[in-house]
Amino acid sequence: MRFTIAIDEELSFIFPMPEMAEEIFDVLNQNRQHLGEFLDFIPKTKTIDDEKTYLKMKLQGMVNETDCLFVIAKKETLIGMIDLHFIDKEIKKAEIGYWLAKDYTKQGIMKKAVRALCTYAFDTLELKKLSIRAVQENQASNQVARASGFTFVGTLRQDSLLYGEPRNLCLYERLSTDS
C-alpha cells in the first residue's frame, strides 16, 4: 500500500520508497532525451541502483528535515517527481525542484503539483518562503513558476553548470503571505 496525498481527482503525491526505484527509473529512462536537456543528473542515473541510492539519500534528508520528496502520479501511473530541498527550519524556507514525463507536459499538471506542494509546505511544514531556480532557456519550467504564483526576482548570471557549461538561472520566490 502506498501513502498518497490527493492533488485532485486524478493527480496525487506518493510518498517514495526504495522499492519504487525500478518504476521511477523506467520513467526516467523512457524520458532521457526530454529530461536530460536541462537536468544533468539524468545521464548519471544509469541503473536502478542509482535511483535507489538517490531515494535513500532523499529519505535520509526527510529524516533530517532538509528534504521532502514526492512522486507525482496520475491515477496509478508515476509521471514525475517534485521535492523541497535546502529546507531551512530556522529561516523557514526551501527550494522546489521538479520533473515530469514528456507525455504529461503542457496539461497544467506541474502547475497543480507545485501549488499543492506550496500548500503542504506553508500549512504543514509551516515554511514562510519557497523559491524556484530554473535554467533561463527552460521555458517550460519558467512558465510553471510564473503560473504557480511565484514572483520573478531576477536572473542569477552564470550561477549553475549544465554539462560543464555556465548557465543563467531565473530565480522565483513565493511567500506564505502571497495570494
Q: What is the 3-state secondary structure (H, E, C) of 67-97?
A: CEEEEEEECCEEEEEEEEEEEECCCCEEEEE
25 occurs within a structural domain? yes
Cα 74 from Cα 69, distance rounded (Å): 17
51 occurs within a structural domain? yes
The angle formed by the CA atoms of residues 105, 110 and 111, to the nearest 5 degrees, is 120
Cα 175 from Cα 179, distance rounded (Å): 9
151 occurs within a structural domain? no
Q: What pLDDT does 77 receive?
A: 96
Q: What pLDDT does 27 receive?
A: 97
The residue segments making up the domain with residue 53 are: 4-128
119 occurs within a structural domain? yes
Q: What pLDDT does 54 receive?
A: 96
89 occurs within a structural domain? yes
46 occurs within a structural domain? yes
The pTM of the full predicted model, rounded to 2 decimals, is 0.95
58 occurs within a structural domain? yes
Q: What is the CATH number of the domain that holds 77?
A: 3.40.630.30
169 occurs within a structural domain? no
Q: What pLDDT does 1 receive?
A: 64
Q: What pLDDT does 2 receive?
A: 81
What's the total number of domains in the chain?
1
**Residue 92 · residue 177 · CB < 8 Å:** no
Strand partners, 13: 5, 72
Q: What is the pLDDT along the chain (179 residues), one digit of tens a residue?
A: 689 999 999 999 999 999 999 999 999 999 999 999 999 899 999 999 999 999 999 999 999 999 999 999 999 899 999 999 999 999 999 999 999 999 999 999 999 999 999 999 999 999 999 999 999 999 999 999 999 999 999 999 999 998 999 999 999 999 999 97
